[in-house]
Amino acid sequence: MPLQKISGQSSPEEPGRQGLPNLKDMTLEEIEVFIASLGKEKFRSRQIMKWLYRIGIVSFDEMTDLSKNFRRELQDLARISSLEIRKVLTSTDGTKKILFRLNDGLSIESVLIPGKKDRTLCVSTQAGCRMRCRFCLTGKSGLKRSLLPSEITDQITVSRLQIPEGREIDNIVLMGMGEPLDNYENVIKAVRIMTSDAGLGISKRKITLSTCGLVPMISRLGEDACVNLAVSLNAADDETRSRLMPVNRTYSIRTLLEACRQYQMPRRRRITFEYILMDGVNASIEDARRLVRLLRGLRCKINLIAFNEYPGSEFKTPPRDTINAFRSFLIAQQFTAILRASKGADILAACGQLSGEDIGA
């Protein structure tokens, strides 16, 4: 597991500049309004976005197609932030776990997952998490704070520019640290920057948001962004799910599935239900029968994930025969059931293993 330490482009921002508006926290439309207030032409906003996201500059001096006077004016009135990569840990399967340092000293993690033709970046939306799912390491330390739009999109921008394989990133999954719908406004703004042709230029079809089930926000998401939706289900009855996931005590499975049925999505796309298999908890054939009854008639697919153990975890990975029997039962009932490979488990980069702690040598 070779450790790769990378010196980031960013440096601590000058004292006093933190109060200035950050251009990376603005959508294209907001930058247009900002520069219009300076008496500048609308097309300049696209030039600025190109420098920020396609080229990845960190200072106004580098925006060489803007006049020196305009650059000086921007320097006085705005700022550009950038995340710092502290460390990168590489798994034996090629997965990379990236530790980012935020400007306030907190840390978050992203995971770069290799595929056959492209690469997926698993992006964090919060430092920590307050959902307290019992099987997830991220929630053990609670929520420190939500990330700004710039801190969400910079995980992509910086990874593309500073990680050798980063230019191959094609898919984005909002499945890292935190609950994306618990940071709704900032996540939606980040998604708009990701999908803008002036920003990161990523298709909505290539972006998936995973939620534990904040029902009111699911409806809003379909109206505001309509990215792919993945729901962390993990049980087919309220008693078990409430024990595993406290959010179920507020939004029951029935309420959650009704929101999923109403989620606005193109007809060819399906909602993904993520189901983490835990030995002796939710992995029996009877659990599979309950899951079939629950999801019958829903346009969906099921991602099965064998529980990824971590130091001190109370749950165990089921035996391979148990996992295979569970999946085979779903397939026999005409469900699309995919056993997702848990990549990066040896560096605590698999599903539910991110903590934002210094990953060491």
What was the pLDDT predicted at 205?
95
Task: Provide the residue ranges of all domains of the chain, joining segments of one domain with +.
Answer: 23-77, 84-347
Alpha helices by DSSP H, listed for the chain, are 28-36, 44-49, 68-77, 149-162, 184-195, 215-224, 238-244, 253-262, 285-295, 320-332
- The DSSP symbol for 79 reads B
pLDDT bracket for residue 8 (50, 70, 90): very low
Q: What is the mean pLDDT of residues 210-217?
A: 97
What was the pLDDT predicted at 2?
37
Q: Which of 32, 109, 151, 179 is catalytic?
A: 109
In the predicted structure, residue 353 carries a pLDDT above the cut 90: no
In the predicted structure, residue 9 carries a pLDDT above the cut 50: no
13 has catalytic annotation:
no
CA distance 67 to 319: 64
In the predicted structure, residue 268 carries a pLDDT above the cut 90: no
Q: What is the mean pLDDT of residues 21-35?
A: 97
226 has catalytic annotation:
no
Q: What is the mean pLDDT of residues 107-129?
A: 93
Fold of 23-77: DNA polymerase; domain 1 (1.10.150)
What architecture (CATH level 2) is domain 84-347? Alpha-Beta Barrel (3.20)
What was the pLDDT predicted at 171?
97
pLDDT bracket for residue 141 (50, 70, 90): confident
In the predicted structure, residue 361 carries a pLDDT above the cut 90: no
Q: Taking phi first (over 0 means left), then psi (-120 to 50 degrees means alpha), and beta for anything else, what does residue 69 get?
A: alpha
In the predicted structure, residue 196 carries a pLDDT above the cut 50: yes
CA distance 315 to 292: 24
Residue 353's closest CA among 5, 91, 149?
Answer: 91
Q: What is the mean pLDDT of residues 323-338?
A: 98
In the predicted structure, residue 13 carries a pLDDT above the cut 90: no
CB within 8 Å of 297: residues ≥ 6 apart: none
In the predicted structure, residue 61 carries a pLDDT above the cut 50: yes
What was the pLDDT predicted at 139?
84
- The DSSP symbol for 314 reads S
Return phi, psi of residue 59, to 5°: -145, 150
* % of the chain beyond a pLDDT of 90: 81
| Sign of the alpha-carbon dihedral angle for 102, 105, 109, 112 | positive
What was the pLDDT predicted at 10?
41
| Sign of the alpha-carbon dihedral angle for 344, 345, 350, 355 | negative
Residue 101 pairs in a beta bridge with 84, 107
CB within 8 Å of 313: residues ≥ 6 apart: 135, 137, 307
CA distance 6 to 200: 23
Residue 229's closest CA among 189, 174, 281?
Answer: 174
154 CA to centre of own chain: 12
pLDDT bracket for residue 358 (50, 70, 90): low
What was the pLDDT predicted at 59?
94
In the predicted structure, residue 17 carries a pLDDT above the cut 90: no
224-256 per-position pLDDT tens digit: 998 999 999 999 999 999 999 999 999 999 999
Q: What is the mean pLDDT of residues 106-113?
A: 95
Q: Which of 129, 133, 212, 351 is catalytic?
A: 351
Residue 194 neighbours by CB distance under 10 Å: 26
Return phi, psi of residue 143, to 5°: -90, 125
Residue 309's closest CA among 274, 283, 361, 346?
Answer: 346
What was the pLDDT predicted at 214?
97
Q: Are 113 and 344 in contact (CB under 8 A)?
A: yes
